[in-house]
Structure 1
Amino acid sequence: MEREVLHAWLAQATEEERLVYDEIRLFWQGPKPVANPADTARAFDRLLARIDEAEQPALAGEAAEADETGGRVVALPRPARWRRLWLAAASVAVLATGGTVAYRQYLAQPSGLAPLSYEERTNPRGTKSKVLLADGTAVWLNADSRLSFPATFSGARREVYLEGEAFFDVKRNEQMPFIIHVGTHEVRVLGTSFNVKAYKEDDAVETAVVTGRVAFIRAALPAAAARDTIYVVPDQKVVYSKASHELRVEQVNGRDYASWNQRSLIFQATPLAEVAKTLERQYNVTVRFEDERLRNCRLTGRFKDQSLREVLRLIEMTRAFDFELQNSTLLIKGLGCDAETPESLKPLTI
């Protein structure tokens, strides 16, 4: 019943309400500070009471209207009641951001176990790090990325939260699946090595497999009854499009996606717009284009242990691009590829 009400509300929600809903959903899927659930319940009840008081005039108006027309008050939510449901959901997020909600941790743990306490590793642009988790899993965290993980794993699942990019070498445990939350989606494995790329500003979420098998679980869409799962094996990559919500599997060289943690950059017919994002994250610069059409040109090349200026000098050898690097700003200019049909041309190769 609750799912049906939610889907009905989503069907007529405004764009602004949908955005708030998405923020609330993302919050609940991330780690939260732990607090006394009894205090949380009391605070939530007080807030609902205030919402009820605010709704009384609207409900009274509904009843009066029903009396005048000889009808009855319909049980389905009218606008005021939709607002109450929405405020109730939003209030949970408000309480949670104040550090007073810990329901998620308590409900996720079996009875008798203490709630999990999460630690966080954040890498600014231009930095990488390695994290060794309590179960022996090794995680290489890329630049401009954040990983949240428990100090110890307990219960039936090992769960971590990722924003950005990381390469995982997961310690096998068939009784305790390893789950990576990336936004509203999940990557689930028992024990394998793979790369996950899930930057908020990127158009897609990608998972490329080096060894073993990985399940990518797409969050259920409002009109769907269940979530979608795709399995990928070595030398395959699953790509989720944020715009179209589509999933696709591509054949790749899986080890290329582990190269960045070995100080390598590999581009395979990569749009220059994506190359620019990589340079920004790896070298902590801001990239600009003199001509926006240059973003569509594609580049193929491999770089190993090279500075930004060395990378740029090699790219300049294609005679398609020029660069200006001043302080921390990089300007890309030049003739580039055919501005009319850039996607139809052979990628520029270094």
Structure 2
Amino acid sequence: MPAFQDYNMEDFLQESSFCRYCAGTDARAVAFWEAWIKEHPAKKPAVKEAKELYYILNGNITATGFLQQRQKFEQTFQQHLQGEEVTAIGTRHLPIRRFLARAALIALLISLAGYSVYQFTKRTPHADYSSLAGERKSFQLPDGTSVMLNANSHITVANDFNKGTREITLSGEAFFDVAGAATKPFIVHTTRMDIRVLGTAFNVKAYPQDKSVETALIRGKVEVTIKGAHSRKIMLAPAQKLVLPEIHASKSLPAVATIGTLTINPRDSVALETSWTRNRLVLNDIPLGVAAIEMERWYGVKITVDTSIANKYKYTAIFEKETVEQALQAMQLSVPFHYRKINNEIFISQ
């Protein structure tokens, strides 16, 4: 699980649901953050600091008031750069010297300004969400949909999101728990397929470097549109998954999509396809070369596998708290191989 408990002040202020909680404009966000703060009392100072800065930058409820406040902030910031003593902005006499000392605050102001204009004009801004290798994130879209982003992934939210439709573009892997809205279909675009839903929970895995693309449905229904010259639509039911293999070399033959059932872990009844949302790396009967790609994303290291053994053996394993070296050592017990680590790169050979 991406951990909000690791967030600092700037991280909180870049979380759109946290800003809606501060503004009090979203009951769902208010309820979520109030409950989260109670469960994580150690983060109260960081939350308090973030809220104070939010109110400093956005202390009025009209667009005109916001622009005036921004001007005051910019003037105050310039005074600070010139070495003048500053203690307050507007009518809220809060000490802000510790905030102004951070150069990143200028970018933060721009970010919050965009969010505030959205609140006042009721427009949804363009938004991007990204994760690095070895990183997983959790966030909430403006419609209330919860998203978990797996490592090395990227989501772009359409400018008109939550108007007629709710459309996003995904590169990588993400789990969606879609807020119900019968008149506003939720659509996920990938390079090779589109997934259309009204309210459901599902997983999409569409990394550009992978040979296949897949969608796994937990509940509800989804309509998958396979793109290309042989375009077609496929409906999935709960506990089903669709796998679209790599495009045929000639490109004249359609990629044959297969529909199967989710693989359930008998230990806790969690589908292996979504186990990453429980902070588990699952290798399910895959060649060492493919396992290396999965491990690269998970651990944030570069792994190079000798071509002579990349497809020779297959591995099945589940890792939770193991380091990358502990995982490799466990895999060696199944089919031996050698590896060496140099800085942040691992080389695997026979």
Q: TM-score, normalised by structure 1?
A: 0.58
2:178 aligns with one of 170, 173, 188: 170
Deviation string 1:140-199 (CA, Å, 9 cap, x unpaired) is 011111011157733321101101111111112221110001025211111111110111
Is 1:297 paired with 2:313? yes
Alignment of 1:327-338 (within 5 A): 327-334=343-350
1:238/1:172 CA distance change after superposition, 3 Å? same
Cα distance in 2 for partners of 1:194, 1:274 equals 23
Q: Which one-letter code corresponds to 2:306 in the other structure? A: E
Is 1:263 paired with 2:279? yes
Contact 1:134 1:152 in 2 (8 A): no
Structure 1 unmatched ranges of 5 or more: 1-112, 335-350
1:215/1:317 CA distance change after superposition, 3 Å? same
Cα distance in 2 for partners of 1:290, 1:154 equals 48
Alignment of 1:128-139 (within 5 A): 128-139=136-147
1:123 aligns with one of 131, 155, 162: 131
1:231 aligns with one of 235, 238, 256: 235
Structure 2 unmatched ranges of 5 or more: 1-120, 249-254, 265-270
Alignment of 1:314-329 (within 5 A): 314-329=330-345
Alignment of 1:76-155 (within 5 A): 117-150=125-158, 153-155=161-163
Alignment of 1:204-283 (within 5 A): 204-221=212-229, 224=230, 227-244=231-248, 245-253=255-263, 255-283=271-299
Contact 2:289 2:305 in 1 (8 A): no
Moved more, 238-247 or 299-308: 238-247
Contact 2:282 2:318 in 1 (8 A): yes
Higher-Rg member (1/2) = 1
Give the number of aligned pairs.
Answer: 218
Cα distance in 1 for partners of 2:140, 2:278 equals 17
Q: TM-score, normalised by structure 2?
A: 0.58
Deviation string 1:290-341 (CA, Å, 9 cap, x unpaired) is 343333421111111221122112112224222212211111223xxxxxxx
Question: Where does residue 284 of structure 1 map in the other structure?
Answer: 300
1:317/1:247 CA distance change after superposition, 3 Å? same
Contact 1:240 1:246 in 2 (8 A): yes
1:219/1:309 CA distance change after superposition, 3 Å? same
Cα distance in 2 for partners of 1:165, 1:174 equals 25
Q: Which one-letter code corresponds to 1:280 in the other structure? A: E
Cα distance in 1 for partners of 2:275, 2:171 equals 19
Question: Where does residue 62 of structure 2 map in the other structure?
Answer: none
Contact 2:313 2:335 in 1 (8 A): no
